[in-house]
Chains A and B, each alone.
Chain A
């Protein structure tokens, strides 16, 4: 039986970040990936000739300190592309880019307030970034120097933000996105476009409390409203994989972990689905907490209350992706474009998920890069009240194309190839329980020391030597890599 210092389950960005940091410390590291390709949710895949797209997460950027620490530039990671436009559609179908000049067309007042909004959001994102890079200890605050120091830095950052921004940041978290944008803007089209970013990837409507938080989260992740590096998500994970190997780590694909071997509440190794056993001193799981704990560990080896809380983690994915290959005559502008005509429209789109239905009038985010178009469709709830995702996905494809065709009549004729991913595909192909992109909804009760569940935000689990390093733990959600980095740093 082979033995490693560390086994990392899952070669997504967080798993690879953790692996690279551990390998860099000189550990003998093995990354196990169930798919034939690495990348997890941060992956660029080809679904046909010249039909290569970011399957799930569009583009994205890692934390700059990770890029620096792991020397990712030398492994082929390109610097950020120039800021991309963020476009919404006016009632007449014409596009409106969200910047001061364009907003002036519809509201002088909103245009005037836009820079102040951007300033506050950048500030809030900065505070959020420091928050995510701080390892959250258990409460009450009985922690060591290292954790205490991190918290002190965090508290300092809050204080440094200035009295007003700090209070507004705290106040913004539990607010609804609607309330937040209404404090700045009067035009519904501007408000809705910003609210779209708040609910992106979350199963919440803009009238739901806590979407103030998700707006700040998304803003931080994207570095603004629009996506960066569209079509290049795979470069991130490829560079990370190169870094892991360069530091002496091993990566095995098509190596699905069936279970984690446990003796007396101590993790000893993993068993692959082919029966192969590999032992390790420490195991890091970048899979989502529900999968890791209930499937790979199993409820039998965990305390009952812990199991209950783990079962209660809210996953509820409601995203479907539709990727289109076209002949280029689609008429959709490059960049990030949203179909979000009003706040009510977005909220109504969300309402459907509460009852297990697909939104008849969905919120769409469309990222276009040359001939390929990626449509992010919300809301398509994983848990359908009736029906089967294998069939229902056709309806979603139609809804998405119809809805876009209203604005871009040439779209349908231009399509030459299509690849759609239902929430069930997200689970089955990408291993995301209930199709939740973030490994657990970004909600206030799954935030800070409550992520993934209260008391276990410090990457530990009730199983000794088993750590969580994926998006489901504090720091996670999005492409920043903070969760993977924090996990690697939290362990001696």
Chain B
């Protein structure tokens, strides 16, 4: 029968029971929880302080299998996929022929010739277009594979309580197969918060068993179901950007200036120009590398004293919204427009108003003084800010 409702994730039975404010968000055709509580604080602090359990099932996932699976990903993405070991995970962007980003995600080498690719947007057509003449199958498994992001300093302890094999040896950006509550899972040491964290992948039929096991054994460690709004604050602190918010996919852009290269997004380390053979966008990226990038994504830390002054003029203390703002804010130097901030948020941890900003050459150098637009009592004002290195926050246990 025809169903015109949005899809629900395999965890919906649990998440919907816990979602107090009915704060739902639409993500890739699914309902997901925006926040479980009326204010985000407790959820945010679970990420930074204990253990946050986040339903990330709508993440688009492909299984790429076959003799040429590595060759396909090598050709599509900017990473040297042939060098990846089984059990390794690599974060990557992928570009069009002009070297402009289409999307980004992670590649997991599950077996020698089996990979999982995650993406923010559907990419089946692009992958298929690139697979002409290759011996490879590409299957979307978004609906079949449930995913939980488990983030925070206590997550290792919690996992060790429920997994069949301990996860102590699981290194940063590596994955392992394991069992939770008798159920087969894949655990990768990855995440979107910049903290210690794992992502747990399982068949959708097993989703609730895994959820329940984690919630039960995590209760002593402060496990907290967390919605995507709190994760949005954490990812800005971690300097991680988001498609359609911080950059526009080259395949969606209406005009050239909306597009970004991986260099402009600070992904230099993912572009393996030394890898052999053709990959999509190679020539354009080589050229940009030679000639330098016109733009760069950087961190902005807004000067609190300067903010206080601006608000003080109208007799107010600084006002900051309680969640990340996904809206473009002009950035200037000496009254001249030099770029824009794409996401800004109050960092509860750093006690700073921070932003991901895209600045023109040469203003993207670390330490540059700029100003960013804020709204003070219905008036647009320029708050002083400084260009800082990304990420804003990186705990020592993130990679340990």
Contacts and interface: CB of A to CB of B under 8 A. Distances in A.
Query: Quick check: do A and B touch in the complex, using CB within 8 A?
Result: yes
A311 B132 contact: yes
Interface residues of B, number: 15
A303 B98 CA distance: 10
A294 B97 CA distance: 18
B129 A265 contact: no
Contact of B97 (A299, A300, A304): A304
B47 interface: no
B278 A265 contact: yes
Given A304-B97, A304-B126, A305-B97, A299 B133 contact: yes
A311 B129 CA distance: 10
B98 to A, nearest CB: 10
Given A265-B283, A303-B280, A304-B126, A298 B97 contact: no
A265 B278 CA distance: 7
A77 interface: no
Contacts of B245: none
B278 A300 contact: yes
Nearest to A310: B132
A307 B129 contact: yes
B235 interface: no
Contacts of B130: 304
B125 to A, nearest CB: 10
A300 B71 contact: yes
| Max chain B C-beta neighbours (<10 A), residue from A264, A300, A307 | A300
A351 interface: no
B65 interface: no
Interface in A299-350: 299-308, 311
B134 interface: yes
B79 interface: no
B282 interface: yes
B133 A298 contact: yes
Interface in A279-308: 294, 298-308
Interface in A224-283: 264-265
B75 interface: yes
Contacts of B132: 294, 299, 304, 307, 311
Contacts of B71: 300
Contacts of B129: 304-305, 307-308
A302 B283 CA distance: 12
B97 A301 contact: no
Nearest to A303: B97
Contacts of A304: 97, 126, 129-130, 132, 280
Interface string A72-113: 000000000000000000000000000000000000000000
Given A303-B97, A305-B97, A265 B133 contact: no
B30 to A, nearest CB: 29
Contacts of B133: 294, 298-300
B332 to A, nearest CB: 34
Nearest to B96: A305
A70 to B, nearest CB: 37
A301 B280 contact: no
Contacts of A308: 129
A307 B130 CA distance: 8
Interface of A: 264-265, 294, 298-308, 311
Sorted nearest first, the 10 A-B pairs with minimum C-beta distance are: A299-B132, A303-B97, A299-B133, A304-B129, A304-B130, A301-B278, A307-B132, A308-B129, A298-B133, A265-B278
6 contacts: A265-B278, A265-B282, A304-B97, A304-B130, A305-B97, A306-B97
